[in-house]
Amino acid sequence: MNITGKTIIGFFIVIIGCFVLGLSLFPIETSNTLYTVVAITALTATASFLFGLVTNDYSWTDRLWSTTPVGYAWIYAYAGSFNTAVTTTAVLVTIWGARLTFNFARRDGYTGGEDYRWPILRNKIGNPLYWQLFNLLFIAVYQQALFICFTLPLFVLSQTPGASMGLFAWIGVLLMLSFLTIETVADQQQYTFQQSKYGLMEKQKDYEEDYKKGFKTGGLFAISRHPNYLGELGVWWSIYLIGAANVGSIFHWSILGPIMLTLLFMGSTIFTEGITKEKYPEYSLYQKKVWPIFPKLWR
């Protein structure tokens, strides 16, 4: 089934309905807001799974990655009576979400079909029943549960009396914006390379060697094979720091969020690079020279 603009609009109307129903079942004023967010996630995960069944497109969770966490951030901001710390962090999450939504949209992520990795994995799994179980348990439930996990610092801020922006919280803000800049630059470099590689943009002289190889190795990709992953992880570890600064401990149970996200990206790197190595013979040499996510600080 071709994913049209009308299908996308219909999907997001359903998602808005999930938010309304979740907020109705667990009102912010009388409920623990974590229960509210869990209820919303259960509904959105179910909707994503069902849309995958109907459309045979399994990127519905991908289409929520930059939007649903923003909604959660402002639910927590409201629950925290818009204290300075949670509101500041909600604004940061909104900036993150707006940038990611723009990048996803210009790559035709909403109407351009599902993530290229899903058909490959679907063929590897083979059995349709097993694939639907994977769709339900990993794509829909696990990944959307991550939305809850990596926004947990905002829940903590909403529940912390007198949460404010002290020195370490502001350091978290600066780190978050720095990592967001890294992610933005990396995405732009990759976008320019891919667009020019396929003739959708004028060829770049600086990319001639990379055109021959078939993949990006210059710019930020000279120090990290996935600098966009580095930026994304840095964003959420920085937001964790803002929360931790307000509870007075660098180790807090909300660290579960950035840890789970890090594990997801590690797994994604292994799977994605397995595909890339089969497609581009020189990628193995690149792997030996450049670390996967975190830059090698020595040569």
Please report the pLDDT score of residue 299 as a whole number.
Answer: 59
Vertex 151 angle, CA 147 and 259, to 5°: 80
**pLDDT mean over 146-151:** 97
pLDDT in tens, 247-288: 988 899 999 999 999 999 999 999 999 999 999 989 999 999
pLDDT in tens, 215-242: 999 999 999 999 999 999 999 999 999 9
Q: Is the distance from CB of 61 to CB of 135 less than 8 angstroms?
A: no
pLDDT at 78 over 90: yes
Please report the pLDDT score of residue 1 as a whole number.
Answer: 65
Taking the C-alpha atoms of residue 39 and residue 41, their distance in angstroms, rounded to an integer, is 5
Predicted TM-score (pTM) of the model is: 0.93
Please report the pLDDT score of residue 165 as a whole number.
Answer: 93
3-state secondary structure the chain: CCCCHHHHHHHHHHHHHHHHHHHHHCCCCCCCHHHHHHHHHHHHHHHHHHHHHHHCCCCCCHHHCCCHHHHHHHHHHHHCCCCHHHHHHHHHHHHHHHHHHHHHHHCCCCCCCCCCHHHHHHHHHCCHHHHHHHHHHHHHHHHHHHHHHHCHHHHHHHHCCCCCCCHHHHHHHHHHHHHHHHHHHHHHHHHHHHHHHCCCCCCCHHHHHHHHHCCCCCHHHHCCCCHHHHHHHHHHHHHHHHHHHHHCCCCCHHHHHHHHHHHHHHHHHHHHHHHHHHHCCCHHHHHHHCCCCCCCCCC
**pLDDT mean over 105-124:** 89
Average pLDDT value for the chain? 94
Tokens 């502001």, residue?
170
State the burial class of residue 288 (Cβ atoms within 10 Å of its Cβ: 0-12, 13-18, 19+).
exposed
In this prediction, residue 298 has a pLDDT band, given cuts at 50, 70 and 90, of low
**pLDDT mean over 92-120:** 92
